[in-house]
């Protein structure tokens, strides 16, 4: 049985709320985990992640509401060699903030550009190299890196099993996989890796550090699914989130399921409307 202790909210769900409001909103739903972001509109600097509060002030607010910050999302284009020097500098700043606000993990997103002409093999090798280069910094700050697959056709890292392979090849144990149900659905992985016989050799469930959830209700072809189509998970969801969430839980995944809907139809809801919509989604998913 899923409980609210295992449900988190990504700040993209309500970007108009400031840090303190978002933390209080989360606590008001009986939830105790949130993800912060460094890509909200008009907030492009490290300090904007906590709305220019001092880390000690942000920590006081989250502690006071009984809410844990579980990730900062994200270091972008982490596996693009041309960005390596820039990524290393940004990574240290992000990890320093993570440590200061007692956030245990940082999300790593791969390059996702049509102009990326590297071969699949080179993209994989560059991913291994990047994880190797970043590993000492993650170890230094005691933070875990969550490596996310983006399922879009132009993504340089769209599949789950290669992430596990790259983590192993990097030689560092400070990484885990971020499994996003939207990206898994639109990506290249055969859905049988979550079959009734278990995940098998194609994917190793213990490497999963976090699961992002969102639904799609629009009647459009899968190849046209975009972030803007992502809403809360409900009975009209076309991606089978409820079944996959239950399957992961049955197979032994014990981490958090974090709502990450990018759709404007969700983001523009008032806090009262959003709270009601989330309650309906939680009920649909059987969360107690």
Encode pLDDT of 229-243 as tens digits. 999 999 999 999 999
- Bridge-partner residues for 215, per DSSP? 231
pLDDT band, very low/low/confident/very high, at 177 (cuts 50, 70, 90): very high
Rounded CA gap, 218 and 258, in Å?
21
User: What's the whole-model pTM score?
Assistant: 0.95
Is 50 exceeded by the pLDDT of residue 198? no
Estimate to the nearest angstrom the gap between the alpha carbon of 21 and the chain centroid. Answer: 21
| Greatest CA separation for the chain | 49
Is 50 exceeded by the pLDDT of residue 197? no
The backbone torsions φ and ψ at residue 152, rounded to the nearest 5 degrees and listed phi first, read -60, 150
Which residue matches tokens 């993990």? 105
88 within 8 A of 136, measured Cβ to Cβ? no
To the nearest whole number, what is the mean pLDDT of the chain? 94
State the average pLDDT over residues 265-288: 97
Percent of the chain with pLDDT over 90: 90
State the average pLDDT over residues 1-19: 96
Burial of 182 (0-12, 13-18, 19+ CB in 10 A): buried
Rounded CA gap, 9 and 257, in Å?
9
Beta strands in the chain (DSSP E): 7-10, 33-37, 68-75, 105-108, 144-148, 175-180, 208-213, 215-216, 230-231, 257-259
Residues across the chain: 288
Segment 18-44, tens digit of pLDDT:
999 999 999 999 999 999 999 998 888
pLDDT band, very low/low/confident/very high, at 193 (cuts 50, 70, 90): low
Question: HSE of 192 in the Cβ direction (CA atoms, 13 Å)?
Answer: 5
CA distances 256 to 141, 179, 214, 228, Å, are 22, 11, 14, 23
DSSP 231-245: E---TT-SS-HHHHH
């Amino acid at each position: 049985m899923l409980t609210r202790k295992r449900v988190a909210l990504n700040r993209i769900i309500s970007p108009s709320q400031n840090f303190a409001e978002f933390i209080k909103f989360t606590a008001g739903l009986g939830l105790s985990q949130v993800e912060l972001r460094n890509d909200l509109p008009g907030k492009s600097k490290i300090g904007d992640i906590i709305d220019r509060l001092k880390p000690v002030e942000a920590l006081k607010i989250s502690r006071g509401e009984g809410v844990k910050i579980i990730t900062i999302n994200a270091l972008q284009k982490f596996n693009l060699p041309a960005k390596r020097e820039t990524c290393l500098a940004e990574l240290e700043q992000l990890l320093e903030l993570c440590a200061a606000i007692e956030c245990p993990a940082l999300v790593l997103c791969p390059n996702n550009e049509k102009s990326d002409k590297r071969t699949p093999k080179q993209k994989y090798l560059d991913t291994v190299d990047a994880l190797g280069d970043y590993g000492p910094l993650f170890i230094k700050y005691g933070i875990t890196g969550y490596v996310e697959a983006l399922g879009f056709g132009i993504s340089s890292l769209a599949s789950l099993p290669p992430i596990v392979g790259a983590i192993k090849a990097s030689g560092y144990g400070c990484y885990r996989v971020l499994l996003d149900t939207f990206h898994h659905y639109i990506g290249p992985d055969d859905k049988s890796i979550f079959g009734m016989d278990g995940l098998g050799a194609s994917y190793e469930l213990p490497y999963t550090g976090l699961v992002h959830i969102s639904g799609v209700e629009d009647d459009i072809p899968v190849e046209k699914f975009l972030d803007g189509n992502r809403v809360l998970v409900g009975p009209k969801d076309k991606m089978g989130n409820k079944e996959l969430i239950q399957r992961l839980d049955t197979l032994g995944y014990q981490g958090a399921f974090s709502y990450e809907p990018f759709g404007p139809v969700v983001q523009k809801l008032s806090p009262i409307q959003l709270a009601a919509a989330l309650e309906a989604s939680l009920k649909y998913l059987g969360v107690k």
